[in-house]
Amino acid sequence: MPVRQLSEAVVNRIAAGEVIERPASVVKELAENAIDAGATRVEIAIDGGGRRLIRVSDDGFGMTHADLDLAVERHATSKLAEDDLLDIRTLGFRGEALPSIGSVARLSITTRHAGEPHAWALSVDAGERSEIKPAALAAGTRVEVRDLFFATPARLKFLKSDRAESEAIRDVVRRLAMSRPEVAFTFLEEGRSPVTWAAALPGAHGQLARLADILGADFRENAVEFDQGREGLRIQGFAALPTLTRANSLGQYLFVNGRPVRDKLLIGAVRGAYADYLPRDRYPLLAVFITLDPHEVDVNVHPAKAEVRFRDPGLVRSLLVRSLQEALMRDGQRAASTGGSATIAAFRPALQPRRGWDWRRSTARPDPRGMPLATRGNTAFGFAEVAQAAFDVGAPSANVTLHEPASATLDQPLGAARAQVHENYIVAQTRDGLVIVDQHAAHERIVYERLKAALDKTGVARQILLIPEIVELDEADAERLAARAGELLRFGLAIEAFGAGAIAVRETPSLLGEVDARALLTDLAQHMAEWDEALPLERRLLHVSATMACHGSVRSGRRLKAEEMNALLREMEVTPNSGQCNHGRPTYVELKLTDIERLFGRT
Amino acid sequence: MKVTVERSALLKSLGHVHRVVERRNTIPILANVLIQAENAKLAFRATDLDLEVTETIPAEVGPSGATTVPAQMFYEIVRKLPEGAQIVLEASGDRAVLTIRAGRARFTLQTLPVSDFPDLAAGDMTHSFKVSAADLKRLIDKASFAISTEETRYYLNGIYLHAAGAAKAATLRAVATDGHRLAQVELPLPAGADGMPGIIIPRKTVGEVQRLIEDGEAEATIELSPGKIRFTIGDVVLTSKLIDGTFPDYGRVIPLGNNKELVVDKAEFEAAVDRVSTVSSERGRAVKLALTAGKLTLSVTNPDSGSATEELEVEYESDPLDIGFNSRYLLDIAAQIEGETAVLRLADPGSPTLIQDRESKGALYVLMPMRV
């Protein structure tokens, strides 16, 4: 068959395969256009998972007759003024979206530019464009896409269920909405009530408001702000306290110059920053906004622009880790209110016990005849001793009345200890609320921080091996490890290159006891290849410290005196990160007086 | 400060005081022992804020002084030094360390300021009396098994000590109960104890006093006030806070009118209960006592494993009666009876049973039955 030039319709359809993967890609392209057009309000309506209808309306600049004429042509865009792909300041720039959509669906565009007397409309039906006709529209642009992929039935077959496609669309809209708090978004979907995110103020406050709208009110209460800049790079955003986590990384959002992207750099950096607080399989919620000179980042990596490439990924990563760590240190003592509000939710007004409680008639209860003593309430001793009768020795009461707080301690952040209950929980009173502390978790964190500080100061003791262990790795891994020998030495692991593709382990951290050097090095090499850091080793050392901390701290079941409780509270106030135990659980929860009053309906 | 002291004397008294120190502390000074050297005497003091133990031993004291060092580590060091060693403790004012030297071994321990060390002993005592160590031991040993460990009834977590009876029959009485059983032990009221308030001595204090009187001292001095108690036994002074609560009116639960009297040979009875309870499960430890004239049948049935019965010849003349008890509780009480014969006074299967030693009337035990 001779070589021939493909027809434009076919070319567009091929291009559509890359740009328009599924309905969510259409929504993304159209909504980005709306934002690039300077819209302050964007309305997105879908039906049938976006298959039947996608409609995006905005109040942006609109297009003139001439613009509209060109807009549906391939590689036509208004967004790339100088043909400079290195200086991209808009979300789109490829000029592929509208023609691609037009080639696989029924597309109609209605737009009104301020300079035109009325609006113009144009429709494209599987690549067949109509004439531009006058139309009615007050301002902005409305793009309607019907019967997506009807021109490419094969693609239609690959779509998932309507539900899954809707969810993908919602995710796209959520990400865009997070990146532009100053734009109001309305999302309409067949069979669901409309969702509206009102325009928020620009700046961090508005950003948090929008994030809270999308990620839930929990996020607002448990987020810490970070904002750091260096060399034209600014990293800013909100991260959840380690007590608010998910089981997967879907709650982590990254925006580069306002563009929602997915990048494993983020996941790696977050993992590094939270290593000290979270178990491996928990992921904190967070939203990171990176702003940098467009020349420093290449967005033209992926047709859908879901990935970006930084010119200096190391700088971005280290700044991100540092910002997160500093934010967490700063707010490390803050207890998550998730616990507190969950507690509030768990409180129920006590039910009045019914008069004729029938356990009294159950066989477990001793025959009351011939029981000279009051036994009511004392027979229910649990399964073990159901049948054991007991004297009336008075009602149960915890020894809670003894500690009159000094007024000065009430002013401390964690207040004055009033009592210990269930031999593990310290109840403390503050000026405006009540704090409940898990004594073991709290003390464990304090001891752990102390151990860590000692480790930093004295360094990790190294055990010299009688016979150096030679670990064979692939060459790249071996080189990577050898290049970082200095850093590893700080953690007590002395290695050196041993010919090509082998590493000799001469000393290991004595804290780890007997070390499986091969497994450790393989683990390290893999992690370094991926994340460029020596986290596994550090994590192992910290894990040992954490175990030591656990054994060296006050156990639950130990009765503490008032002075000891207060000493613990004061120590918590000055210990970094004392709001979480080593497993990411809160060490204390705080109930504000207003919360307590709300429980009793007093507010 | 400079002191020279023989290892065994040091080890013995440190052994007394370091036990009080909790191994894990939120207040660093509580992990330390206070060392005071003065007038040829060396005193050690340790506290957990509820309990304070001070012991004084003779020593060769150079310049006097005081300091505090980690109790556990100090004790371990002294323990590992060779027997018969002369130990020199030295602290200079300007460095916060204590130097310990013995032979060619040398240790320095970091110290904490003496002024931070809590003082529990302050405050006046309102009553003071003496009891022989043997009497005190009996009073405490026989009651302590019944102390409750349940946190929610904190006022039962100790021994209730008070003056009972009037005039010539006045007694010093110790009572403990956990709601299932009760122990009451009495002594003639010692001089100086009349009018004493009823006090509750915490369990940990009871345990420490028990250990101290093991050493065979002749006499103990007890001083007390409504908030504190102090035991002086030989060279050791133990001061403890008391449980701030109201002990229940235990007199109501002692069944004085029980008319079915069962007299058993204590050793035989104890051994038989122990034997039949072998088949009982961990959870239900019930042993059934079936009484007919002159005969007691003990039986245990465990649906998971099997059953056991044993018959005993006993003195019993009342109507037949079946009653169940927790075998653990029966054994605990039997262990307190020193004489050869125990007397159980029963009423019915749902009422408390009174148990006494036939020979000695100074102690009585009450036990609630189980449904079997």
Each residue of A9-31: pLDDT tens digit? 777 777 777 778 889 989 998 99
- Residue A598 in any domain: the answer is no
- Residue A19 in any domain: the answer is yes
Residue B365 pLDDT: 95
Asked if residue A553 lies in contact with residue A446, where contact means CB atoms within 8 angstroms, the answer is yes
Q: Which residue has the higher pLDDT, A517 or B337?
A: B337
Query: Are residues A394 and B155, on separate chains, in Cβ contact within 8 Å?
Result: yes
- Residue A60 in any domain: the answer is yes
Chain A and chain B share a number of CB contacts under 8 A equal to: 117
Provide the 10 A C-beta neighbour count for residue B352. 25
Nearest to B312 by CA among B332, B330, B338, B329: B330
Residue A361 pLDDT: 42
pLDDT band at B292 (very low <50, low <70, confident <90, very high): very high
3-state helix, strand, coil in chain B (%, to 5): 25, 45, 35
Residue B11 scores a pLDDT above 70: yes
In tens, the pLDDT along A140-186 reads: 999 999 998 888 888 888 888 888 888 889 989 999 999 888 899 99
Shared domain for A169 and A58, answered yes or no, is yes
- Residue A299 in any domain: the answer is yes
Query: Are residues A560 and B24, on separate chains, in Cβ contact within 8 Å?
Result: no
Residue A316 pLDDT: 86
Per the listing, tokens 């019967």 go with A147
Instruction: For residue A378, give the DSSP letter.
Output: T
- Residue A139 in any domain: the answer is yes
Shared domain for A219 and A186, answered yes or no, is no
Q: Record the tokens describing residue B330, joined without a space.
A: 């029966």
Q: Which residue of B20, B26, B256, B329 is the best one to mutate when testing the A interface, meaning the one whose CB has the most A CBs within 10 A? A: B26
Shared domain for A67 and A123, answered yes or no, is yes
Phi, psi dihedrals of residue B111, rounded to the nearest 5°:
-115, 165
* CA of A568 vs chain B CAs: smallest distance (Å): 6
Query: Are residues A393 and B177, on separate chains, in Cβ contact within 8 Å?
Result: yes
Domains of chain B: 2-116 (3.10.150.10), 127-251 (3.10.150.10), 254-367 (3.10.150.10)
pLDDT band at A389 (very low <50, low <70, confident <90, very high): confident
Asked if residue B178 lies in contact with residue B159, where contact means CB atoms within 8 angstroms, the answer is no
Residue A358 scores a pLDDT above 60: no
Query: Are residues B27 and A402, on separate chains, in Cβ contact within 8 Å?
Result: no
Instruction: For residue B318, give the DSSP letter.
Output: S
Nearest to B324 by CA among B290, B370, B278: B370
CA distances from A105 to A108, A176, A201 (A): 10, 24, 37
Tally the residues of chain A: 603
Shared domain for A130 and A219, answered yes or no, is no
Residue A364 pLDDT: 42
Shared domain for A224 and A167, answered yes or no, is no
C-alpha span between A433 and A71 (Å, rounded): 61
B299-313 mean pLDDT = 89
* CA of B178 vs chain A CAs: smallest distance (Å): 8
Residue A405 pLDDT: 62
Q: What is the DSSP string of A133-187?
A: EEE--SSEEEEEEESTTTT-HHHHHH---HHHHHHHHHHHHHHHHHH-TTSEEEE
Nearest to A101 by CA among A69, A135, A124, A131: A124
Nearest to B288 by CA among B304, B308, B306: B308
ipTM: 0.75
Nearest to B26 by CA among A417, A443, A441: A443
- Residue A38 in any domain: the answer is yes
Nearest to A496 by CA among A488, A504, A484: A504
Interface of A with B in 437-466 (CB under 8 A): 443
Q: Record the tokens describing residue A492, joined without a space.
A: 């007590």
Residue B291 pLDDT: 94
Asked if residue B148 lies in contact with residue B191, where contact means CB atoms within 8 angstroms, the answer is no
Tell me the one-letter amino acid at A389. A
Residue A347 pLDDT: 58
Shared domain for A139 and A245, answered yes or no, is no
Shared domain for A293 and A274, answered yes or no, is yes
C-alpha span between B52 and B43 (Å, rounded): 13
Q: Which domain holds residue A75?
A: 8-197
B150 contacts on A by Cβ (under 8 Å) = 396
Nearest to B136 by CA among B228, B210, B234: B210
For residue A553, give the chain B residue with the closest CA.
B24
Phi, psi dihedrals of residue A341, rounded to the nearest 5°:
-75, -30
Shared domain for A115 and A185, answered yes or no, is yes
- Residue A168 in any domain: the answer is yes
Shared domain for A182 and A242, answered yes or no, is no
Shared domain for A180 and A261, answered yes or no, is no
Domain boundary among A197, A218, A245: A197
Nearest to B136 by CA among B219, B230, B195, B202: B219
pLDDT band at A193 (very low <50, low <70, confident <90, very high): confident
C-alpha span between B101 and A89 (Å, rounded): 76
Residue A277 pLDDT: 78
Residue A355 scores a pLDDT above 60: no
Non-local CB neighbours of B33 within 8 Å, separated by 6+ positions: B14, B17, B18, B21, B44, B45, B46, B68, B69, B70, B71, B74
Q: Record the tokens describing residue B361, joined without a space.
A: 């009337």
Q: Which of A44-53, B202-211, B274-283, B340-349 has the lowest mean pLDDT?
A: B274-283
Domain boundary among A172, A197, A222: A197
**No. of H helices and E strands in chain A?**
19, 25
Query: Are residues B324 and A384, on separate chains, in Cβ contact within 8 Å?
Result: no
Q: Per DSSP, what are the bridge partners of residue B185?
A: B174, B363
- Residue A420 in any domain: the answer is no
Provide the 10 A C-beta neighbour count for residue A516. 12
Shared domain for A315 and A221, answered yes or no, is yes
For residue A154, give the CATH number of its domain: 3.30.565.10
Q: Quick one: angle between helices A439-458 and A535-551, nearest 10? A: 130
Residue A94 scores a pLDDT above 70: yes
Residue A369 scores a pLDDT above 70: no
Q: Which residue has the higher pLDDT, B322 or A522?
A: B322
Instruction: For residue A122, give the DSSP letter.
Output: E
Asked if residue A344 lies in contact with residue A259, where contact means CB atoms within 8 angstroms, the answer is no
Shared domain for A184 and A267, answered yes or no, is no
Query: Are residues A371 and B154, on separate chains, in Cβ contact within 8 Å?
Result: no
Non-local CB neighbours of A583 within 8 Å, separated by 6+ positions: A279
For residue A325, give the CATH number of its domain: 3.30.230.10
Query: Are residues B244 and A567, on separate chains, in Cβ contact within 8 Å?
Result: no
pLDDT band at B81 (very low <50, low <70, confident <90, very high): very high
- Considering its fold, how many domains does chain A have in total? 2
Domain boundary among A142, A176, A197: A197
Q: Per DSSP, what are the bridge partners of residue A455?
A: none
C-alpha span between A237 and A178 (Å, rounded): 11
A368 contacts on B by Cβ (under 8 Å) = 350
Tally the residues of chain B: 372
B26 contacts on A by Cβ (under 8 Å) = 443, 554, 560, 564-565, 567-568, 571
C-alpha span between A139 and A61 (Å, rounded): 8
pLDDT band at A386 (very low <50, low <70, confident <90, very high): very low
A401-421 mean pLDDT = 76
Nearest to A559 by CA among B50, B239, B200: B50
Non-local CB neighbours of A514 within 8 Å, separated by 6+ positions: none
